[in-house]
Amino acid sequence: MEKRAHYGLIRSLVGKKIFMALTGLFLCLFLVAHLSGNLQLLIPGYKGRLQFNNYAVFMTTFPLVKMVSYVLYVSIVIHVLDALVLTWRNRKARKVDYAVKSGYGSSLASRNMGVLGTLILVFLVVHLANFWYVYKFGQTPYMTTPEGHYITAKGEVLPDAELRDGHLFAGGLDKGPAMKDLYEVVRQAFSEFWIVALYVLSMVPLGFHLVHGFQSGFQTLGLRSGRWAGLLQKTSLAFGIIIPALFAVIPLLLFFLPEKFN
């Protein structure tokens, strides 16, 4: 009986809203972590290139991070599926649509979360294709020092190493995988105006989505009391502006000031 009750909750509208709130807030936390890593792209010169590429290696090889990444993928899927189900149920429940929708009591973002989410999903697919897929499966260049020496994925500089099938060989010994130069992939991508424009414009729906979704998540979980409602609303607004703005700054600076970061 208890199992049936839990199953009913999961299938219920309330249950789906709770799952959506939890996954949404987890994705907000991920955005902060992802932004902190991406800001390393703005460290000038070789130091910034090496630091960002070390960060890329850590994010794709450290076991705990890899586990979190799987949770992230699942969270995105659950978040999208719950959004689709909630939208479908809400429309189905509204047997008679209003001739005039005043929008009273709701914001522009809350009335268009489905559209905003769809735009963000399209951007996410493009983003993964441009960077994640290229890094994992594409023709990614390999990191070298200013003197032209290869570097292992662990950060060891090998002056006389030979690169073969992504591994470095020195003295006849396999020294392990070479460090991929994701920094160069990003720099090349953000030298294209249309990619920069796409990334910057995509931050607009992300911002609106975050402003509403951040506070809505806390409200769904019962954490938006009257005492803290005002602070939460201001925090949501700040979060929805600052995070997308900083994401947008990165491609803009790399495009307009490339000499500062080469």
pLDDT tens, position by position, 114-144: 677 788 888 999 999 999 999 999 999 999 9
Kindly report the CATH class assigned to 2-94+111-141+180-260: mainly alpha
CA distance 250 to 257: 10
| Axis-axis angle for helices 63-93, 113-127 (nearest 10) | 150
Give the model's pLDDT for residue 108.
Answer: 62
CA distance 203 to 222: 28
Collect all residues with Cβ–Cβ distance below 8 Å to 154 and sequence separation of at least 6. 176
Mean pLDDT of the residues in the chain: 84
DSSP 3-state assignment of 174? Answer: strand
What are the tokens at 86? 């909630």
- 107 versus 96: which is more confidently predicted? 107
Give the model's pLDDT for residue 100.
Answer: 41
CA distance 243 to 135: 24
Label residue 14 by pLDDT band (50, 70, 90). low
CA distance 31 to 25: 10
Read off the pTM: 0.83
Give the model's pLDDT for residue 251.
Answer: 97
Burial zone of 126 (CB within 10 Å; 0-12 exposed, 13-18 middle, 19+ buried): middle
Mean pLDDT, residues 26-36:
92
* Integer CA distances (angstroms), 73 to 27, 213, 256, in order: 10, 19, 33
pLDDT of residue 217 exceeding 80: yes
What does the pLDDT look like over 158-208, one tens digit per residue?
Answer: 999 999 999 999 988 999 999 999 999 999 999 999 999 999 999 999 999
pLDDT of residue 95 exceeding 60: no
DSSP for 112-170 reads THHHHHHHHHHHHHHHIIIIIHHHHHS---B-B-TT--EEBTTS-EETT-EEETTEEEE
Give the model's pLDDT for residue 232.
Answer: 87
Where along the chain do its domains lie?
Answer: 2-94+111-141+180-260, 142-179
Give the model's pLDDT for residue 196.
Answer: 97
pLDDT of residue 13 exceeding 60: yes
Label residue 102 by pLDDT band (50, 70, 90). very low
Mean pLDDT, residues 57-69:
88
- CB atoms near residue 103 (< 10 Å): 10
Tracing tokens 């979060």 back to the chain, one arrives at 239
Out of 55-69, 113-127, 230-244, pick the least confident: 113-127
